[in-house]
Each structure stands twice: as structure tokens, then as C-alpha cells.
Amino acid sequence: MSRPIDVGILLALALLALAGCRKECEQNLNCPASEICTDGKCVMRACADSNTCPMEHFCSDESGTCVAGCQSDRDCYPYHRCNDEGRCVENDCRSTALDCAVGQFCNELTGECYDSGGAYCAACDIDDDCGGTNWCLDIGAPSGQRYCLVDCSLGQECPRGYQCTTITRAGAPVGEGCIARCWEL
Amino acid sequence: MSAAHRSMAWGGVRAGRRALPVLGAAALAGCSDYNLRPNEWTDTFQQELRTTVDILLVIDNSCSMIEEQQKLGENFEAFIASFAGAEDVSYQIGVVSTDTDSTGAGILQGPVITPDTADASAVFADVVNLGTTGSGYERGLEAAMLALSPDLQSGANAGFLRADASLSVVFLSDEEDSSPEPVDIYLDYLYAVKSPNGYEAYRDPRRMNVSAVVGPVPDGCELTGEDVFPAQPGERYIDLVTRTGGIFSSICDEDFSGLVQDLGLNISGLQREFYLTRWPDPATLAVSVDGERDAKPWTYVAEQNSILFYDEEALPPSQSVVTVTYTVVARSTGEGE
């Protein structure tokens, strides 16, 4: 007589158990911090946060694993940033002093460093070789070679690795020019 | 229903009878686990004192630096004393000049100073007094890179870098860095030195940080005493300081006592800023130190998604536990973690 009751109870309990198991969680937020919600179950995450992942990877909230790409600049190497597509890409230059190689300027509009060109550190014999209001000077090269110093008297920026310094002739200042150790460039 | 089917059905029920307590327990367990939590999150941080530190001092030895070298040398005791729990800190201090023109470029000058160094204060004052005959093209970042290079670490500078130590690099110069590469090249190199698996220091800047005693940006500063040249702004050094959480101080300060205390505190590793692992609703943030809510003054820095303890005199003490509880808000991919 008790068999139908047993079967009914069993089925009800089985359904309840299955329903309960399915609904242990519905999303990651329902699980402890160290776990993620997978198929309704809270399971251990493979990574706790992005700090435990290799560079150019991040700890996915969805999967709990380290995946390639980035979510913030901290996931990228210093000379890269995280773009809107979640990829580490080369940084724009911020300034000539910080981000460009010797002999370059930073174009802050395009974010690119470019070679200075012009007469900077060009070998010369006389001022006319350097053009404009630039100077041809002996700046202490071991070989005695003279080099062009480009005028920066009006506050013009010098390329990376150069300094705008006062030029003197016959003991008197005549202006300011971009100087570097040209023989090492 | 065939006999075979009945047999199977009753066999199932018989097995089910035995399994009834188990299923019942499972059902109840399932029900008790059916408890969707609110979107509340807690990040827990331990304020850990660094007990093993290697400190590389990169000192300008061009003309005009004599007074600054002396000021630094006079403050060794304050420098060391400011390590929290200094008696337990295993430190190594190595000194190198900014002159990369000489044949000894990147080689540590004098002995490495450790807690076992006899009369360490006098030795320190002597070592940092590098003279003023070095190159006028100061290349501090290049000198640091050379000093930490595999060639010198396996040669003249062997033993200075310890695998289990954090690294602090401190620059002292009155001119801008003239090293040839963009600053990121040097930052990358310094992080890599302390990242044996390829990511540790990048992910946790406390493993490596840069401090600098240089001219402030954008105008530099006027040195006092016999120096006639103003200190240039040390833009490149300061950039690394900012990005690694180090200490910047003006080289034109009258004395370095406050500076060296700040340096010591920073090198000892007491954190001011704690990065959250989820995006919070700022209105729900609750910050406790050792269980006491709002024990230290703090603020939320949205740009960094961090909690900043802004009063340097009231940082969470060594070994304290900082807990931050908040309601998580959704952020789309690409906006950060």
C-alpha cells in the first residue's frame, strides 16, 4: 500500500534536489569571491584577479581564467596601453623628453615621435653651413669636428637628448642653441 | 507492462527506498544552497612590511653636487631609523654614479651597506660622497640599468640583487636625465628585474619602486650655497616616481631629514593605496582597519579604483588587515576590472 506514496515522495525529492542543484547560483555574484558560477554551480576560479595573470592577459570575470587581452592599462607593458577593443597597443608619446629617442620630437597631436631632421648636430665648418640663425661651433668633440647648434633663443623646443644652452662668442652671449654630444649620436 | 519492465520498475523503487535518505539530504542541501547573495563584495588586504629590501642609490657626481651629497650623507641614521621595525629589516644599500662615460659605469662604489656593516653611518657618508668630477651628461636611468644588468650582477655587483628582496631605486641629481632611451624602456627593465615569472613586479609595484631627489617640474629650483646653476626639472625621473608609487623630493630642500624619513617609510612598504577587485557603488563603500570602521582617513580614487589613505601620519599599521566592503556595479568590458 505504501509503494505509490514512496514513489511520489522519491520523485518529488529527486526533482527538488535537481532544482536545488541547478539553482545554487545564477551568476558569479551569487558565489564566494574565490568561485564563479558555472552550470548553476559555484566552482573555484583559476585566477583570483588579474594580478596573478601573465602580462597582456586578464582574469576574466566570466570564466575565472586568465585570457589574452586587457581590461586596463595595468594589464599592458609600460610602453603600451589598453585600447577600446581590449588589446594592448603602443602608447602615444606624451612629450619629447619622456617618450622619444635621442634626436626626435614628439608630435603631441598625432602621438608619434619623429626625427628632428634639419641641421641639428650636422657637421659644419662655418655658420653658413648651418643655415638661418644657427651657429657652427667647436663643442669639444675629440676629433675637433665642429657641429651646428640650432637656434632656440625664442624658446623653441630642442630634440630629445639636446639642451637649449647659452652660446657665447668672444666671451659675450649671442643667443641660445640646442647642444648635444654630437659625436656620440 | 511486461514482467521485465515491472522488475526494472520495482528494482528502481527498491534502490530508491535505500536512496531516500540520501536524496532527501541532497534536496535539503540543494535548497539551503539556493540563496542568491546580494551583490555585496569584500576585498581584504594585509598591510605587509617589507623585510628584505635592496636599495640602489644613483647619485649625480657632476660638478655642483658636493653639498647635496653631503646632505644625504648626514641623514643616514634618519634614513635607516625610518624603516618601520628597522631591526628586523634586511637591507642592502648600493651606490652608483650617474656617470656612464667612465670605464666603471654601473659598478657599485664602495661597499654594499647592510645591517652588519660596522659604523654604517660613517661608511654611508663616505660612499655617497662620490666627488664632482663625473661627466656633465648625467645618465641616471642608464646607470641604474647597467648596475642591475646580468653582466654586472654576475660580475662586479654580484650579490647585490637578492631574489627574495624588493628593489628601491633612488636618484639624486640636479639635472635632467640624459639617458638615450624613452623612460618606458627603463621602467620596463626595472620591472623585469623583479619579475622572475614575467609579471610579478608589473602587477605589484611594491616589488620595485623609484624615488627621486631632483628639480621639480616645470621650472626646476634654485640651489643655495656655492652652487650658481639652478637645478633643472627632473621630468624623466619624476615620471617614474609617479608611476611606481615612489617618493619625489626637491633637491633644493634645505635639509634632507624629512625626505629620508619619507623614503624609509616608502621603502619599508607600508601601502597607502589599495586597489579594489570589482567596481563599487561609491556610496556603499565601508572601509575598516583591523575591524574598526573608518579607523584611518580614506578616500575613494575613481580613476584608480582604489582606496587611498591620504594622511601619511595615519596609515594602516604593519600587519593590519584592511577590509573594503561594497556593492558591485556592472562595468562593460574595456572600462577596467
pLDDT digits (tens, 9 = 90+) for A33-66: 778 888 888 888 888 888 889 999 999 888 889 9
Does B7 lie at the interface with A, CB-CB under 8 angstroms?
no
Does A54 lie at the interface with B, CB-CB under 8 angstroms?
yes
Burial of residue A162, with CB atoms counted within 10 A of its CB: 0-12 exposed, 13-18 middle, 19 or more buried = buried
Note if the bond before B218 is cis, omega within 30 degrees. yes
Q: How confident is the model at residue A8 (pLDDT cuts 50, 70, 90)?
A: low
Of the candidates A3, A16, A101, which has its C-beta nearest B180's C-beta?
A: A101
Q: Do A130 and A84 fall into the same domain?
A: no
Q: What is the pLDDT of residue A10?
A: 61
Q: What is the pLDDT of residue B6?
A: 32
Q: Which of A148-152, A170-174, B194-198 has the lowest mean pLDDT?
A: A170-174
Q: Do A123 and A160 fall into the same domain?
A: yes
Angle of CA points B134, B135, B137, to nearest 5°: 140
Q: Identify which has the larger pLDDT, A134 or B337.
A: A134
Does A14 lie at the interface with B, CB-CB under 8 angstroms?
yes
Identify from A22, A51, A139 which residue to disrupt to test chain B contact, counting B C-beta atoms within 10 A and taking the largest count: A51
Q: What is the pLDDT of residue B285?
A: 96
Q: Is residue A153 part of a domain?
A: yes
- Tell which A residues from 64 to 123 touch B, by Cβ distance under 8 Å: 71-72, 74, 77-79, 82, 84-86, 91, 93, 95, 97-102
**Helical (H) or strand (E) element with B15:** helix B3-33
The predicted complex's ipTM stands at: 0.76
**Cα distance from B215 to chain A (closest Cα, Å)?**
15
Please say whether the dihedral angle defined by the alpha carbons of residues B262, B267, B271 and B276, taken in this order, is positive or negative.
positive
Q: Is residue A97 part of a domain?
A: no
Q: Do A30 and A81 fall into the same domain?
A: yes
In Å, how far are B33, B163, B180 from B51, measured between CA atoms?
A: 43, 13, 34
Q: Is residue A66 part of a domain?
A: yes
State how beta strands A172-179 and A146-151 pair: antiparallel
Would you say residue A20 has pLDDT above 70?
no
Q: Is residue A123 part of a domain?
A: yes
Q: What is the pLDDT of residue B2?
A: 36
Q: Is residue A101 part of a domain?
A: no
Please say whether the dihedral angle defined by the alpha carbons of residues B63, B67, B70 and B76, taken in this order, is positive or negative.
negative
Q: What is the pLDDT of residue B19?
A: 41
Number of separate domains in chain A: 2
Does B194 lie at the interface with A, CB-CB under 8 angstroms?
no
Q: Do A126 and A172 fall into the same domain?
A: yes
Q: Is residue A16 part of a domain?
A: no
Q: DSSP code of A40?
A: T
Does B184 lie at the interface with A, CB-CB under 8 angstroms?
yes
Q: What is the pLDDT of residue A68?
A: 97
Q: Is residue A104 part of a domain?
A: no
Q: What is the pLDDT of residue B5?
A: 35
- Tell which B residues from 145 to 164 touch A, by Cβ distance under 8 Å: none
**Cα distance from A178 to chain B (closest Cα, Å)?**
14
Minimum CA–CA partner of B32 in chain A? A20
Which residues in chain B have their CB less than 8 angstroms from residue A63's CB? Answer: none
State which residues form the domain around A69.
24-90
Q: Identify which has the larger pLDDT, B102 or A160.
A: A160
Q: Is residue A35 part of a domain?
A: yes
Q: Do A85 and A29 fall into the same domain?
A: yes
Determine the 3-state secondary structure of B167 from DSSP.
strand
β partners of residue B58: B96, B171
Q: Do B203 and A51 touch (CB under 8 A)?
A: yes
Mean pLDDT, each 10-residue run in order, chain B (337 residues): 33 37 42 52 82 89 75 73 61 91 89 88 82 75 97 96 93 90 96 93 87 90 68 92 87 77 71 82 95 92 85 81 88 41
Read off the pLDDT of residues A102-127 as tens digits, 9 standing for 90 and up: 999 999 899 999 999 889 999 999 99
Which residues in chain A have their CB less than 8 angstroms from residue B30's CB? Answer: 16-21, 23-24
Q: How confident is the model at residue A5 (pLDDT cuts 50, 70, 90)?
A: low
Q: How confident is the model at residue A89 (pLDDT cuts 50, 70, 90)?
A: very high
Spatial separation of the C-alpha atoms in residues A75 and A72, rounded to whole Å: 6
- Tell which A residues from 134 to 173 touch B, by Cβ distance under 8 Å: 161, 163
User: What's the pTM value of the predicted model, to 2 decimals?
Assistant: 0.75
Of the candidates A7, A33, A78, which has its C-beta nearest B187's C-beta?
A: A78
Does A34 lie at the interface with B, CB-CB under 8 angstroms?
no
State how beta strands A57-59 and A66-68 pair: antiparallel
